Structure 1
Amino acid sequence: MSRKNRVSKTTQSARREEALLRLPMPRPEVDELVLMYRAALEAVKRGYTDAPLTRRLYTAVLLTRFLTDSGHGLLDLCALKDAYKQLTTIYEHGDETGVWDYPPETIALLTQVLNEHDRQLRETPLHFLLQASDRLDKIIERSYSREISFSN
C-alpha cells in the first residue's frame, strides 16, 4: 500500500470518528443510563434510600449541570444548584445519622433534573457528553485523593 493510501485511510478514519462525536449517544446506551437513574429515583420515592442511591442521583445532577454549562441545557441553573444543595444536605445528614430522608419537594426537583438529563442524553452530541463525564471523573478523583490523604 502506498503512503498516499495510508494517509488517506487515516484521514478518513479520523473524519469518521469526528463525525460520530457530533452525533448523540447511541439509543441502547442512553436507555441503559436512563434506566439506572430512574431506578434510583424510584427507590428514593419508595423510601429505599442510602449512600449509593444518593451518589447516583448526585452524578445525574452534576452531569446535567455540566451539560447545561456547555450550552445544552433547558433547565434553569438555579434549579440545578438547588438540587445539588438539597442532595448535599441529605448526604451529609445521612452519612452522619444513617437516615436518608428525601422531602417531597426534593423528589419533585430531582424528577425535573432527571427529565432534563434524559433529554440531554438523547440529544446532546457525544463529544459534550464525554467532556461532562471527564469533568465528573476529575471531581471523583480529587475526592478519593482527599480521603486517602486524610487517612494517612
Structure 2
Amino acid sequence: MARTIPFARTNQAARARRSKTMPLPMPRAEVDRVCLQVHVALDAMRRGMGNVNAAQTLCQVMILTGLLAEAGYGDATFEQMRVAESVVSAAFDRGRDSNLWGLDDDGFRQIAAIVATYDYQMQLAPLAAIAEASDRLERFRAGESFDQLLRKRA
C-alpha cells in the first residue's frame, strides 16, 4: 500500500506554506461559507427577525469593508460608510430598547450595498489583506481606537 508523503510539521514549514498562500485570494468554498453567514444575518435583519449577533455581524462586515476598501480592494465611500454606521447604530438602539432587531427598507438597501462590496472583496482580496483587516478589527474591538491603529501602521 502506498504511503502518503508527510508534510513537515516544523514552524518553518508552516510559515513557508502560509507565506505562499497569503498573496492568494481565499478559496471559493471558504468565501461562500463566510459570505453566506453575512447574507443570513442581513436577511434576518431585513425581515425583523434578527438578534444582537446578526447586528454585530453586519457591524463587523461594515468595518471590514471599510478597511479593505482603504487598502485598495473594492469601493466604499466615506459617505456610504457614514450612512451604514448610522443604520447599524439605529438597529442596535432599537434592538436594545424594544428587542426588535431589524432594518427598514432604506437601511436594508444601504447595508446590502456594503454586503455586496464585502462579497466582492472576499473574492478579490488576498488572504494577507483580509488577515490584516481582521487583525485591525480585533484590535479595535479590544479597545484601541482607529487613531491608535493608524499611528502603529505609520
Length-normalised TM-score, structure 2 = 0.78
Corresponding position: 1:30 with 2:31: yes
What letter is aligned with 1:113?
Answer: I
SS for the counterpart of 1:58 is: helix
Partner residue of 1:104? Answer: 105
Partner residue of 1:68? Answer: 69
- The 3 A distance-change label for structure 1 pair 43 and 15 is same
SS for the counterpart of 2:143 is: helix
SS for the counterpart of 1:142 is: coil
Partner residue of 2:128? Answer: 127
CA distance in 1, matches of 2:140, 2:37: 21
Alignment of 1:51-90 (within 5 A): 51-90=52-91
CA distance in 1, matches of 2:100, 2:15: 51
What's the C-alpha RMSD, in Å, of the aligned pairs? Answer: 2.3
- Comparing both structures, which one devotes a greater share of its residues to helix? 1
- The 3 A distance-change label for structure 1 pair 28 and 78 is same
Greater CA drift, 16-25 or 130-139 = 16-25
Shift of 1:135: 0.9
- The 3 A distance-change label for structure 1 pair 21 and 49 is same
Partner residue of 2:139? Answer: 138
- Sequence identity of aligned pairs in percent? 25
Partner residue of 1:42? Answer: 43
Shift of 1:15: 5.8
| Contact residue 49 and residue 100 of structure 2 kept, 8 A | no
Structure 1: gaps of 5 or more residues = 1-9, 144-152
| Contact residue 22 and residue 128 of structure 2 kept, 8 A | yes
CA distance in 2, matches of 1:62, 1:91: 15
Aligned residues: 135
Task: Give the 4+ runs in structure 1 shifted more than 4 A.
Answer: 10-16
**CA offsets 1:124-150 (integer angstroms, 9 cap, x no match):** 01101001100111122229xxxxxxx
